[in-house]
Amino acid sequence: SAVISQKPSRDICQRGTSLTIQCQVDSQVTMMFWYRQQPGQSLTLIATANQGSEATYESGFVIDKFPISRPNLTFSTLTVSNMSPEDSSIYLCSVGTGLNQPQHFGDGTRLSIL
Amino acid sequence: QQQVKQSPQSLIVQKGGISIINCAYENTAFDYFPWYQQFPGKGPALLIAIRPDVSEKKEGRFTISFNKSAKQFSLHIMDSQPGDSATYFCAASTASKLTFGTGTRLQVTL
């Protein structure tokens, strides 16, 4: 399966600031997704990162708060904007090769907001 | 409804025993059902997956049983080992969007 690298692996940020998380894949993939996992909880899909067009956001997530870029088939970024303590979570990138094909996850970015 | 219900929340099994985790769903549009294993500090790793036209799939010590009419599926881990101690998530997918269960923390004791 694809090797997925996320940067940073963890960060501690101040309230009101923004952080951009990078997801790099070692091969071209059709689909890239961003998930949030709150401590000890399950995963929730934030959005589908679409190459060359605006991301598709799930209910409860908006572009102003979580802008996403996907300039090519191997790279995507998620920005968490104007952060508050409620944004403290693990943010995970996943990739898939096609419709309802296996999705594989990176190790995530552990984000704490003070 | 997109919810996937998972039980139990936690499970303690002796080494060599069988671990069983159950999931149920409502949305009949789901057409792909993976299971993920997650260790602390790591992302979820795909363990095994099934499509609804199959009632059972086995890979090594891991088996998925799928009951389409009941809208239920389960993971069986045979001969459970201490190295299997992790959190397990079931998931259901439609149009490649994964909806995850709440997770089961499995502890395998010696």
Q: Domains, chain A, ranges and CATH? A: 4-113 (2.60.40.10)
- Residues B14-28 have a mean pLDDT of 97
Would the pLDDT of B50 be above 80? yes
Q: What is the pLDDT of residues B63-97, one digit of tens each?
A: 999 999 999 999 999 999 999 999 999 999 988 89
Would the pLDDT of B44 be above 60? yes
Residues in A touching B31 (Cβ below 8 Å) = 100
SS3 B82: helix
Looking at chain A, the whole-number percentage of residues with pLDDT higher than 70 is: 100
Residues in B touching A58 (Cβ below 8 Å) = 97
- Residues B18-41 have a mean pLDDT of 96
Q: Is any Cβ of chain B less than 8 angstroms from the Cβ of A44?
A: yes
- The string of DSSP codes covering A19-85 is EEEEEEESS--SEEEEEEE-TTS-EEEEEEEPTTS--EEPTT--TTTS-EEEEETTEEEEEE-S--G
Domain boundaries, chain B: 4-109
Q: Say yes or no for a CB contact (<8 Å) between A105 and B44.
A: yes
Task: Quote the strand ranges of chain B, DSSP E.
Answer: 4-7, 10-14, 19-25, 33-38, 45-50, 56-59, 62-67, 72-77, 86-94, 97-100, 104-109
Rounded to the nearest integer, the mean pLDDT of chain B is 95
Q: What is the pLDDT of residues A28-64, one digit of tens each?
A: 999 999 999 998 899 999 999 988 889 999 999 999 9
Distance CA A29, CA A70 (A): 11
pLDDT confidence of residue B2: 58
Which of A94, A103, A107 to substitute to test the interface with B, most B CBs within 10 Å? A103
User: Token pair for residue A18?
Assistant: 């923004």
Q: Say yes or no for a CB contact (<8 Å) between B97 and A48.
A: yes
Looking at chain B, the whole-number percentage of residues with pLDDT higher than 70 is: 98
Pick the CATH number of B4-109 from 2.60.40.10, 3.40.50.720, 3.30.300.20, 1.10.40.30: 2.60.40.10
Distance CA A65, CA A40 (A): 23
